[in-house]
């Protein structure tokens, strides 16, 4: 499985939940993976939803579009994933 050979993936929040799964999958497909996380122990932090959470998530959409506009000319893709509910430590709160 080398579909991502010679690609570099940067995964924020990669110590737990979806980020952890994505990091493993990208690596198994041959990508070099940069895992960034605040939790060096592996993701025991959960967050409550609410107004600030919702506002931040909408901000991510604009931030992603901004980064894509800046870096697309350099051949860098910038993606954001907006999933439905998936059972991870964040949903246990």
Ligand X SMILES: NC(=O)c1ccc[n+]([C@@H]2O[C@H](COP(=O)([O-])OP(=O)(O)OC[C@H]3O[C@@H](n4cnc5c(N)ncnc54)[C@H](O)[C@@H]3O)[C@@H](O)[C@H]2O)c1
> 72 or 91: whose CB is closer to ligand X?
91
Site for ligand X in 18-77 (CB under 6 A): 18-19, 36-39, 43, 45-46
Contact present, 40 and 65 (Cβ < 8 Å):
no
- Within 10 angstroms of residue 45's Cβ, the number of other Cβ atoms is 14
* Region from 1-9, 23-31, 68-76, 79-87 binding ligand X, contact rule CB under 6 A: 79-87
Tell me the CA end-to-end span of the chain in Å, nearest whole number: 36
> 75 or 81: whose CB is closer to ligand X?
81
DSSP labels, 45-71:
-----SHHHHHHHHHHHHHHHHHHHHH
Could you confirm whether 53 is annotated as catalytic? yes
Query: Which residue has the closest beta carbon to ligand X?
Result: 17
- Interface residues with ligand X (CB under 6 A) are 12-13, 15-19, 36-39, 43, 45-46, 83, 85-86, 88-91
């Amino acid at each position: 499985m080398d579909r991502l050979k010679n690609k570099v993936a940067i995964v924020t929040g990669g110590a737990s939940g979806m980020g952890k799964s994505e990091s493993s999958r990208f690596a198994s497909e041959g990508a070099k993976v940069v895992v960034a996380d605040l939790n060096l122990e592996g993701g025991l932090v959960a967050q409550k939803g609410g107004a600030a959470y919702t506002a931040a998530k909408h901000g991510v959409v604009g931030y992603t579009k901004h980064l894509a506009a800046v870096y697309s000319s350099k051949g860098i893709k910038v993606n954001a994933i907006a999933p439905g509910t998936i059972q991870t430590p964040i949903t246990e709160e």
